[in-house]
Structure 1
Amino acid sequence: MKLKLIAWGLGITTVTTAGLVGLISLVNLPYPMIRRPVSKVAPLLLLPSYIEMDHPYREAIAHVEQADQLIHHVSSFEDIKLGEKKVKLAQENLDKLPVWFIGYEPQRYCQMFSCSWQFTIDEFEAARKKIGRMEAIIFQQRNAFNTYQQAEENLQKAKQNYQQAIQPEQKQTIINSWQQSLDELQQLPPQTFAATLVSPKSNSYQGDFQSVTGTITDQQRTNRMITAAKSFSSSATKLCENPPHSVDKWQECQQLWQKAISRLETISQNDIGYLETQALLAEYETNLSIVKLNSKVEKQSVAALEIAKKDIQAIQEQFADGVEADQRKLFISKIQTAMEQLKKVKTGTTAYEEAQKLLKLAQTKMQEAT
């Protein structure tokens, strides 16, 4: 009998407990028409819903604050990654909050248990917006850091590849890539962590690049000077070929060689291509000396021919009526003087052919006189 009473009592208790659990589950459903009356007369029945709100809310607020500190006080990229995790956790906590309950604040519960939160629409939206802003900051920070890492890697490759490059075209391609990487680093948003990493290295980056581009600029300048010198050299060679030439033409040749030399003289000992320049300079100065000598010989030969022609003209005028016996020695002496002048005319000059003709004529006249 007692066993039956006990069993009957347990059954009643079980049924009562099951009914109570069912009732609590029912009143905690997200239906305002049920929750509002219950919250006024028996708010404790809604305790499971309040607890369900309280824990995710506290976690969400904590994670938002932690993420805010990490993202706005970055000391390493690990802070950004940890901040990103905290933002995701905060988002998950907000997603767990019973948003359907917004506008039905558990006032009685908070009066009894001193809630640390006020689950309002404004607060919920503010948290959402703050998380959204932090997600945008994290996205920018991660993109900037990835750009920084890639640009730095490209800079190191450019430095190595430039040292190994031989062809000018290869070097120019590498320099273009190098410049692009520098531009990417300079264009990083200043508020990002990556930008703070670039700042102390900026002078070093620019120094390395300028040392290379400066070398290339010097090389290009040297090449331009050598090219210009060779151009003047080619013009001088063409102008001076197939002598003899007049004094004026030799002087033109001299000016061209001098221009070629002056271009090479602008290249200093510290410039790239200096040894090549010195070889060309020695060649051009030798050619200039030859031209100067030819010009001098031409000038002297022309002068000697003019003097000889004047002497011959004077002899012809003086002995126009013939040479008398008592004038023979004077005639021979004057002829010899003219011949000495004609012999001063050198081969390879414009005066040489005419001088040789006059010399033969003078020799014939002297033979006739003797």
Structure 2
Amino acid sequence: MAGFNLPFKFPFRKAQNISGIDPSLKSKQPVILKPSIPSPPASKSFAELEREVEAQYHATYPHKQPVPQKAKRGVLSKIIWMGILLGIPVGVVWVANLPYPVIRRPVAQKAPILLLPSYMNMEANYRQAITSVEQAEQLIENPTSPADLHRGEQKVKEAQKNLDALPVWFLNDWPEYRAWWYDWRFSIYGFNAARTKVGQLDAKVFQEKNAQTSLTQSEQDILKAKQQYQQASTPIDKQAAISSWRSAINQLEQVPSITLAGKTAKAKLEDYQRDVQEIVGLAAGNERVSTLITAARQFSWEAAKAGQNPPHTVAEWEQVENLWEQAIAQLQQIRSDDLTGYAEAQKLLAQYNRNLGQVKIRQQAEQASVEALQQSQSKIERLLASIPADAQSVNRNYTISELQGIIYELEKVQNGTTAYLKAQSLLLSAQNKLKQLQP
């Protein structure tokens, strides 16, 4: 085998003739043939041994058999020439399809078939753009959840990417190109319509995202205000929480109704308003009840103060009566469904009505006593006017009758009235006169 060389060599010399016979001389004696005896195998040279060993090696390892150098050079040469033959047209097509007007315009005019890869790429981008626009329009115009809007936004971006891949200058030059080898489906009107629709959908997505942000922020503010109200310990803190709560609900009402977030906000708005009415309304009702009870107690305190230290005139009792009626009127405004304050209001009403009844009794007593005193004074004046100057001419029976009438009227004057003291004085005098006249 090639390269199978031993690292040493054996010196070989010709054998010397030691018999002393000239080998060139022919023998004259007859040759006597002897029976043939098998001769021993002839000895092989080193070169033959080397070739045999190499043949056995290649038979054992055929894949390591060396390739002739000429064969190697022939295969490599063929590969290089095939690469050159294939690379030149591929390179020409690649250069012709570079996205530069200076290259594509003359190629499109002279050899448009070279632009077939560009046509196929533009057609694929155009079709994909139209498909993405249609899908995005369906998802964005009729969304059912924020996931639809997110998917629609991705489709808009894909459509925009496909439209950006179309060379506008080339489309303007060749808007309706067709040839026997390629049917161009592109339409400049469809391209402009798709580009306009992408812009509209992009604006729609932006509006939807803003509306969704407003919805999320409003809901967070509502929950925060509700927690603040529940944790408030003073009326001032509760009032501040209520203001924040209502402000958040107003912001929720401002979400555009044409958006998905606006429709969601409209559906949730009723629940939030009902919630604030139930919680804040109850608190407001409690405050109202508390205010009415406080006002009623203030009127009752004024009425009690005005009714102290009797006796009082009829006008003064009328004032006290009016104050009690004002207090009762405040309590009567508390409805039975105001559970927290209704029981307290009824308790106060019973007390105030009782006090009002006592005032009315005192007022009637005062008025009756004053009238009785006036009647008795009128009779006293008539009696005095009827007595003659001569004591002997006095009509005893008439005078006794008048005195009895005067005493009767004076006895009507009740204790605790403004007329009582004066009536008692006149009553004592009338009784004394009556005793004098009676036998």
Same fold (TM over 0.5): yes
Give the structure-1-normalised TM-score.
Answer: 0.78
> Which one has the largest radius of gyration?
2
Report the alpha carbon displacement of residue 240 of structure 1 after superposing the two structures with TM.
3.5
Matched residue SS, 2:116: helix
Which residue number corresponds to residue 36 of structure 2?
none
Which residue number corresponds to residue 347 of structure 2?
279
Identity of aligned pairs, percent?
A: 40
Instruction: Say if 2:93 is the partner of 1:24.
Output: yes
Distance 2:331 2:361 in 1: 22
Q: How many residues align?
A: 368
Report the alpha carbon displacement of residue 269 of structure 1 after superposing the two structures with TM.
1.9
Report the alpha carbon displacement of residue 81 of structure 1 after superposing the two structures with TM.
0.9
Relative distance call for 1:49 and 1:363 in structure 2 (3 A) is same
Runs of 5+ unmatched residues, structure 2? 1-69
Post-superposition CA distance 1:57-105 (Å, at most 9, x none): 3332322222122112322221111111111222222333334533343
Distance 2:109 2:176 in 1: 9
**Relative contact order, CA 8 A, sep 6+: which one is greater?**
1
Q: Is the 8 Å Cα contact of residues 387 and 394 (structure 2) preserved in structure 1?
A: no
Matched residue SS, 2:108: helix
Letter matched to residue 286 of structure 1: R
CA RMSD of aligned residues (A): 3.9
Matched residue SS, 1:188: coil
Structure 1, 301-310 or 170-179: larger mean CA deviation? 170-179
Letter matched to residue 304 of structure 1: A
Relative distance call for 1:52 and 1:302 in structure 2 (3 A) is same
Which of 141, 160, 163 does residue 94 from structure 1 map onto? 163
Which residue number corresponds to residue 105 of structure 2?
36
Matched residue SS, 1:269: coil
Letter matched to residue 136 of structure 1: A
Matched residue SS, 2:164: helix
Q: Is the 8 Å Cα contact of residues 252 and 265 (structure 2) preserved in structure 1?
A: yes
Report the alpha carbon displacement of residue 9 of structure 1 after superposing the two structures with TM.
5.3
Instruction: Say if 2:134 is the partner of 1:82.
Output: no
Structure 1, 319-328 or 141-150: larger mean CA deviation? 319-328
Distance 1:108 1:218 in 2: 79
Structure 1, 47-56 or 217-226: larger mean CA deviation? 217-226
Letter matched to residue 303 of structure 1: E
Relative distance call for 1:234 and 1:320 in structure 2 (3 A) is farther
Report the alpha carbon displacement of residue 274 of structure 1 after superposing the two structures with TM.
1.4
Which residue number corresponds to residue 359 of structure 2?
291
Letter matched to residue 321 of structure 2: Q
Report the alpha carbon displacement of residue 308 of structure 1 after superposing the two structures with TM.
3.4
Distance 1:7 1:148 in 2: 72
Matched residue SS, 1:103: helix
Distance 1:54 1:311 in 2: 129
Which of 253, 256, 262 does residue 195 from structure 1 map onto? 262
Distance 1:320 1:106 in 2: 144
Post-superposition CA distance 1:314-362 (Å, at most 9, x none): 5544556576699889877865664564454333321123224334545
* Correspondence list, 1:172-191, <5 A: 172-191=239-258
* Correspondence list, 1:1-370, <5 A: 10-105=79-174, 111-118=180-187, 120=188, 122-156=189-223, 162=229, 165=232, 167-201=234-268, 203-212=270-279, 215=282, 218-219=285-286, 222=289, 225-226=292-293, 229-230=296-297, 232-272=299-339, 273-317=341-385, 321=389, 338-339=406-407, 341-362=409-430
Higher helix share: 1
Relative distance call for 1:270 and 1:5 in structure 2 (3 A) is closer
Q: Is the 8 Å Cα contact of residues 388 and 394 (structure 2) preserved in structure 1?
A: no
Post-superposition CA distance 1:158-191 (Å, at most 9, x none): 5565556564444444443443344344443333
Give the structure-2-normalised TM-score.
Answer: 0.68
Structure 1, 81-90 or 48-57: larger mean CA deviation? 48-57
Letter matched to residue 311 of structure 2: P
Runs of 5+ unmatched residues, structure 1? none
Distance 1:108 1:252 in 2: 105
Structure 1, 325-334 or 85-94: larger mean CA deviation? 325-334
Matched residue SS, 2:422: helix
